[in-house]
Structure 1
């Protein structure tokens, strides 16, 4: 990994990354851990998390795996109660957990729409609220980075996800207002087409057609998102809050989203 940051930039800091067992989340954990942070990767699949934390530990990263269901308020409360019992202060929250399925809007059931909104929007809010209370109780500054989707020009075949992620973008701005006095910065990153296993569910030809229309004609790498998270969580971004940074090869300019 090409590193432009100071060695041990996050020494003494703890970063909580939801959905950290694979893909972009694991890449974010790897970047932050390589820069000295203790990383807590959290998701529902504890077996995948355990394997991921062992992989990170093999790279010399201080990594912990914790089970959490971000849809379940009680599960989140239990997670932060564990942190309190362990005297573990979390400094950085990366809301990366989420998910969706491709479907035309006419075919999305009420339950399907609700499930995607609950996961991506409600889950992000619940994690953010619990983290903010944790920071305020320990009188520590905090940084929240929300991972959303590039959806400025709409996202055909993903009406539920586009609506939920647009909600997270506005939530990011609103929480930045409300929690600034508590020294909690809140920002978001909107990755475009990133090369992960999550793309396997989509039609390769449609994906490539979208990539061909980008200004930067390639897919992004998960580690590139990790580097952007590191910047926004670092002191270099100490005067930045309430933004959504597009990391999408120019997709927000061209509107060249893949047709899922």
Structure 2
């Protein structure tokens, strides 16, 4: 009988211990749950604020992008208007004007114009120098006028039948033509968008210095067609030109 009572008491104590363990575990679980929910709420609130901030930043950036696009379009329009207003002064061809917004033609024209102005400050065409120009298109008449405006004596010549469809790409000069005169003509051509590939003394200069001694000839040469264009800097800084 006593043994049964003892066993019963043991079972009761075990049950009570298990109950306390379960109760303790439940309390800890409840606390952990509360902490977890609190952390999740804080993270959710922080995430919501961050998302709201990022959305605002995206909105601001989009507004700035649209404003910059409008400003860029306005500047491009003004730039094109400026170029269109200046190209007749530079003697640019019709094709150059059509492509001016998408090509480096105008930038090269500006550079050539600046170099030409600098050169003209301390040099002027020699009275004896005569420019012979083998003109081929109506557009090149603008270049003719610009060269005349600089003060050069001028001779227009029709090109030969074989060369009539070849683009102007070179100039030659005589033994008594000052280097600055040759440069001024070349820079005027470059300013007009003409692809000058070579500036040469006449082949006969060394053997016969009197040959076309005061002449600058502007024309075309088939042996130059594959060569790169001369840069404005190359012409402007040259101390001499060789064949």
Which bin holds the TM-score, normalised by the shorter protein?
under 0.3
**TM-score of the pair, normalised by structure 2:** 0.24
Larger radius of gyration: 2
Q: Which one has the bigger strand percentage?
A: 1
Q: Which one has the bigger helix percentage?
A: 2
